[in-house]
Structure 1
Amino acid sequence: MTAGRLWLGPLLILAVVGLAVVPIYANGYYLALGISMLNYVVLATAWALFSGPTRYISLATAAFFGIGAYTMAVLSEAIPVAAVIVVAAAVGVAVALVVGLATLRLRGVFFVIFTFGLAELIRQIVTWYEVKITKTVGRYIFLDIGQEQIYWQLLALAVLVFVVGWLIGRSRLGLAMRVIGDDETVARHVAIDTTRAKLILFAVSAAFMSVAGAVMAPRWTYIDSAIAFNPMISFQVVIMALLGGAGKLYGPLLGVIPLVLLFEVINANFPNHFAIVLGVVFIVIVYFLPGGVAGLYDRWRAGSIRLPVVATRDSAAPGSATLELVGLRKAFGGLVAVDDLDLRAAPGEIVGLIGPNGSGKTTALNLISGALKPDSGDILFKGRPITGLPANRIARLGVARTFQIVRVLEHLSCLENIVAGLAFRPQPLWGDAARRRGRELLDRVGLAERADVPAGDLTYIDQKRLELARALALDPELLLLDEWLAGLNPSELVIGIELIQSLRDEGLTIVMVEHVMDAIRTLCDRCVVMNAGARIADGPPSAVLAEPDVIAAYLGGADA
């Protein structure tokens, strides 16, 4: 541990103590400013816990903040304040779980629109209830809670959200969220239950936002749905988090402080121009600070401005193949990509899946790995059906793959890419053990010296090697290679063939889609040839490649 890190803990404690005594010396205005800053620190940091690593832009902050505020307004006279805060957190979590199950499959603009609509939907429901049922438009909150107490509660909440964020960032859940943010398809294929991981962190984020609303509610005395569910809260939180840098735990703090001060000046002197300033700040962030203020430090340091469910693996049924496809079919509208495909791969066998472009080879691998669900047919792994299982469960069972278009986690280092595969398999490795094993796998594919290099900085060929090492990190029994040898020069091809042979010698079963015929002849025990989605040949490479139907499929009937 460096000397700087040794001092970090005491400095943080001293800073918290210093902030805690502010109400003793601050007057009304500065205390109110401190409350506003702490409130937005909690909200922006909670937002970044989920949206920072996943890159899901959520506008639901106002919904959860309002839920907390209204919970305090409704229950404050019936039960103790501490109990109300607990209830507010529980209600926020419950809503997050229900909403998350329905929406966390969405991405991009669809997720943004839905989360924005959620706040408006809840606001309309509360308004309807107040007008139609209680015959009011708002509620008074009569609690003997002063500004100082609100400040201290928010400070404690801010410390708690940082501690929780720090713990998550060093956990397998934190790694899972970073992998999801980089490439959700890869996340599922390294055995991460993406739905569960996103749902957990979305709920944690919602809990903090709801508690912040409950703590802030007594400050207003009177509250209605327009105050509690103000959509501007959501936009301000997003802009603050992005300005500071949502990818770092401390990033939102760097955005909150200057923007709260700026917004105070704007509201005091140019109240009618607030929305314009907000838009300008957002444009500046997008164009000039895509990584936020925290990202500037990372680029300077680089020298340029440029929960998972544990699955167990069953032993193979006696006499069963490692992989067996029976009558597998997949159609996309009127196009039949895989048509009644049968395939069998015995333990320790390399089976080549070959055919002209568009014959359905990659679709077949997607069906095996769980990226797609078949329309009909069966997929058996070690004699057990896996048809239709999600990709993460299939990966845990011992099926790993590479992709036709290479997919690495560009923003993670090479070593972190491998740790992503080690951390979620049935016998997970974590910490020093994972790093040691990760370096061994990088060494095996010739990337030992590049462990700390971001994967996005690798050449295309090195990214292919990294992708294979990540697949091997799952300790698979079946490896699916999708044109892994494509693009290699002659010397690299020899090394690649030797590596695949060594994997087979260790007992690994391999199904490889490949167009390099020298590799097919050298490596494959059998070949299955596909054309227009159907199997047209199956047997030893030399015999299969000489069949007239295979030649016609590759060259066309006239040339054959």
Structure 2
Amino acid sequence: MTGPVRILLWCAGLALAACLVTYPLYANGYYLALGISVLYFTILATAWAMFSGPTRYISLATVAFFGLGAYTAAVLGETMPWPVVLLAAAGVGALTAAITGLSTLRLSGIYFVIFSFGLAELIRQLVIWYEVNIHKSVGRYLFSAVTQDVLYWQLLGLTAVVFLVGWMLGRSRYGLALRAIGADETAASHSGIDATRIKLGVFILSATFMAVTGAVMAPRWTYIDPAIAFNPTISFQVVIMALLGGAGSLFGPVLGVIPLVLLFEVLTATLPNHFSIVLGVIFVFIVMALPNGVIGLFGAGRWRVPAGGPAAAPARAGDAPLLAVDGVSKSFSGLRAVDGVSFTVTPGEIIGIIGPNGSGKTTLLNTLSGALRPSSGTIRLGGIVLNGMRAHQIARLGLARTFQLVRVMPDLTVAENVAAARLFSTTNGSGATASELLDLVGLGKLQEAPASELTYIDQKRLELARALALQPRLVLLDEWLAGLNPSELETGIALIAKLRDRGLTIIMVEHVMDAIRALCSHCIVMNAGSVIARGAPEAVLSDPKVVAAYLGGDDA
């Protein structure tokens, strides 16, 4: 961007800001009320998109937090200073979001949508019960000295704060983590991202803005009852506005708020009995015609990949074997998929795990990486017991993995996939950069390409680069060489050998026996969940029990 263009944009921004600040001085009562509606829906839609946009958790709980803020203002507004009232509303919204988020954010898809809608109704019913049985009244009066002008300026200031926080979040590693969670939460967790904590934190932040908005808006109504404060239409309007403008962009929701506030104003006056029907039609249109919102039509740019060092590394024991698996079993409703498996791994070696399909190999890797908890036995990495740890904690200890069914974060670029893991690794910043890792796996020229557009083989390469971005001590490769043609297989074997020569320890589940022979110093054979042979590859591959496991007893 050239200097004159930048100056022109700054001047335009300052002119717009001046117009917005002075708007109450020249707008009449109707247009001022319209401006207030635009501002408070902008805050709600932007706060909603702050969490739901990147994570794709469609929340219908907006009105729950908005209503709690309004009722907090109604209860405290005449007895406490207004700044204290706003702080109290923020606290009530944050506390409610924290309590509900700890349980609900483990849900996803339609289950989360239903629960969030039910949460709004539950809170409304609780408020009604309290008002009728404790307060002995249906609603409350709020007499405040807050004028329409002051209300507008409060909302304008809150809008600026929401945009500032959203901008800072989007440029931080937590913003990238949110988008990684939305793209593939399992892959994000195995990249060292604490999905639950990050989702909860941003959910609380979003709810806090909604609650404060409700408190700011409370004086506008004078009389507040549950039907006004907890009107479920507000939640649906906010979702539709955010989706129309584009929930994946910071300023996208504004592009949905402005036209829809004007449209709803007309519909309320002309078709009051058909408002819900029109709302539903608009939602269907957005989903069918504008899946990325209006801003998607302009090819909105991606967030900048955030800079910053990796997370702090926990202490690691150095005397114990790198990995010690002792009597590990995993059962599913009585079916024992892994049965008493034990082995150790020393630094710098490649261990092969082979066996027929259904023998428990991938289930074993899932228990090692935290995707599953072992039913019995003990897993130690560098002397640290992994039992009970979650996937992101194990990844940060230095155990990375790829998946049998390749998992990349499709909505992120190639560089962002690697950066998501690099920013949450536990190294001190040393080691290969993201660009160097992509060059290592042959994706250096595709850094800005969306991961969804990569070929199957390139997605495998990206998955390996993402695992290496954690700067791990141990990598689990789950059939990483599967599906490669002969030349690609030769390149893949050479790459794994190069990683071994750099001191990386690898456990590989593989059906390509040429790779097992070429790479592995030790081999473990599983069948029906148990280890039936172990030793050098040539020895175990000629073992009659192994041949029988692959071919069947009669054929052997």
TM-score normalised to the size of structure 1? 0.96
Indicate the residue corresponding to 1:521 in structure 2.
Answer: 517
Letter in 2 for 1:272: N
Q: Secondary structure at the match of 2:321?
A: coil
CA distance in 2, matches of 1:315, 1:300: 41
Indicate the residue corresponding to 1:352 in structure 2.
Answer: 352
Contact 1:414/1:450 (8 A) holds in 2: yes
Contact 1:242/1:252 (8 A) holds in 2: yes
Q: Secondary structure at the match of 1:134?
A: coil
TM-aligned CA deviation for residue 328 of structure 1: 0.6
TM-aligned CA deviation for residue 7 of structure 1: 4.5
TM-aligned CA deviation for residue 331 of structure 1: 1.1
CA distance in 1, matches of 2:450, 2:2: 23
CA distance in 2, matches of 1:336, 1:515: 22
Indicate the residue corresponding to 1:205 in structure 2.
Answer: 206
TM-aligned CA deviation for residue 12 of structure 1: 2.8
Contact 1:66/1:229 (8 A) holds in 2: yes
CA distance in 2, matches of 1:86, 1:270: 38
TM-aligned CA deviation for residue 308 of structure 1: 12
Residue pairs, 1:251-270, within 5 angstroms:
251-270=252-271
CA distance in 2, matches of 1:52, 1:230: 23
Indicate the residue corresponding to 1:423 in structure 2.
Answer: 423
Indicate the residue corresponding to 1:166 in structure 2.
Answer: 167
Question: Greater shift after overlay, 514-523 or 16-25?
Answer: 16-25
CA distance in 1, matches of 2:394, 2:55: 23
CA distance in 1, matches of 2:38, 2:300: 27
Contact 2:323/2:382 (8 A) holds in 1: yes
Residue pairs, 1:100-499, within 5 angstroms:
100-298=101-299, 310-318=311-319, 320-427=320-427, 437-499=433-495
Superposed CA deviations along residues 458-499 of structure 1, whole A, max 9, x for unmatched, are 000000001100100000000000000111111111111111
Contact 1:193/1:309 (8 A) holds in 2: no
CA distance in 2, matches of 1:427, 1:34: 50
Contact 1:415/1:451 (8 A) holds in 2: yes
Q: Secondary structure at the match of 1:394?
A: helix
TM-aligned CA deviation for residue 310 of structure 1: 4.4
Indicate the residue corresponding to 2:305 in structure 1.
Answer: none
Letter in 1 for 2:407: R
Letter in 2 for 1:221: T
Superposed CA deviations along residues 329-385 of structure 1, whole A, max 9, x for unmatched, are 111113211111112111101000110001110111110000111111100111221
Q: Secondary structure at the match of 1:557?
A: coil
TM-aligned CA deviation for residue 9 of structure 1: 4.3
Indicate the residue corresponding to 1:547 in structure 2.
Answer: 543
Superposed CA deviations along residues 199-249 of structure 1, whole A, max 9, x for unmatched, are 110011011100100000000000001110111110000000001000000
Letter in 2 for 1:448: G
CA distance in 1, matches of 2:276, 2:255: 21
CA distance in 2, matches of 1:401, 1:300: 31
TM-score normalised to the size of structure 2? 0.96
Q: Secondary structure at the match of 1:247?
A: coil
Indicate the residue corresponding to 1:531 in structure 2.
Answer: 527
Cα distance change, pair 420–149 in 1 and its aligned pair in 2 (3 A)? same
CA distance in 2, matches of 1:2, 1:373: 55
TM-aligned CA deviation for residue 2 of structure 1: 4.8
Contact 2:427/2:470 (8 A) holds in 1: no
Superposed CA deviations along residues 73-102 of structure 1, whole A, max 9, x for unmatched, are 000111111110011011100111111111
CA distance in 1, matches of 2:214, 2:309: 31
TM-aligned CA deviation for residue 312 of structure 1: 2.2
CA distance in 2, matches of 1:86, 1:308: 34
Superposed CA deviations along residues 387-437 of structure 1, whole A, max 9, x for unmatched, are 1200001000000000001111111110111101110012376xxx99x81
TM-aligned CA deviation for residue 5 of structure 1: 5.1
Structure 1 gaps of 5+ residues are 302-306
Superposed CA deviations along residues 47-82 of structure 1, whole A, max 9, x for unmatched, are 000000100000110000001100100001111111
Contact 2:51/2:199 (8 A) holds in 1: yes
CA distance in 2, matches of 1:113, 1:308: 39
CA distance in 1, matches of 2:114, 2:428: 37
Indicate the residue corresponding to 1:87 in structure 2.
Answer: 88
Cα distance change, pair 10–329 in 1 and its aligned pair in 2 (3 A)? farther
Contact 1:438/1:473 (8 A) holds in 2: yes
Contact 1:481/1:512 (8 A) holds in 2: yes
Contact 2:309/2:428 (8 A) holds in 1: no
CA distance in 2, matches of 1:70, 1:12: 36
CA distance in 2, matches of 1:111, 1:407: 23
TM-aligned CA deviation for residue 534 of structure 1: 0.6
Letter in 1 for 2:190: H
CA distance in 1, matches of 2:380, 2:312: 17
Cα distance change, pair 533–9 in 1 and its aligned pair in 2 (3 A)? farther
Contact 1:485/1:514 (8 A) holds in 2: yes
Contact 1:317/1:384 (8 A) holds in 2: no
Contact 1:38/1:154 (8 A) holds in 2: yes
CA distance in 1, matches of 2:494, 2:228: 67
Superposed CA deviations along residues 130-180 of structure 1, whole A, max 9, x for unmatched, are 111111000001001111111111111111100100000000110110110
CA distance in 2, matches of 1:70, 1:549: 72
Indicate the residue corresponding to 1:304 in structure 2.
Answer: none
TM-aligned CA deviation for residue 299 of structure 1: 7.8
CA distance in 2, matches of 1:373, 1:218: 52
CA distance in 1, matches of 2:501, 2:363: 27
Q: Secondary structure at the match of 1:528?
A: strand
CA distance in 1, matches of 2:508, 2:310: 29
TM-aligned CA deviation for residue 311 of structure 1: 4.8
CA distance in 1, matches of 2:41, 2:391: 38
Contact 1:127/1:225 (8 A) holds in 2: yes
Superposed CA deviations along residues 260-282 of structure 1, whole A, max 9, x for unmatched, are 11111111111111001000000
Question: Greater shift after overlay, 263-272 or 7-16?
Answer: 7-16
Contact 1:89/1:211 (8 A) holds in 2: yes
Letter in 1 for 2:484: L
Letter in 2 for 1:20: V
Letter in 2 for 1:213: G
Cα distance change, pair 85–343 in 1 and its aligned pair in 2 (3 A)? same
Cα distance change, pair 30–164 in 1 and its aligned pair in 2 (3 A)? same
CA distance in 2, matches of 1:140, 1:498: 75
CA distance in 2, matches of 1:414, 1:358: 32
Cα RMSD over matched residues? 1.8
Cα distance change, pair 468–9 in 1 and its aligned pair in 2 (3 A)? farther
Give the count of matched residue pairs: 550
Contact 2:312/2:428 (8 A) holds in 1: no
Cα distance change, pair 202–428 in 1 and its aligned pair in 2 (3 A)? farther
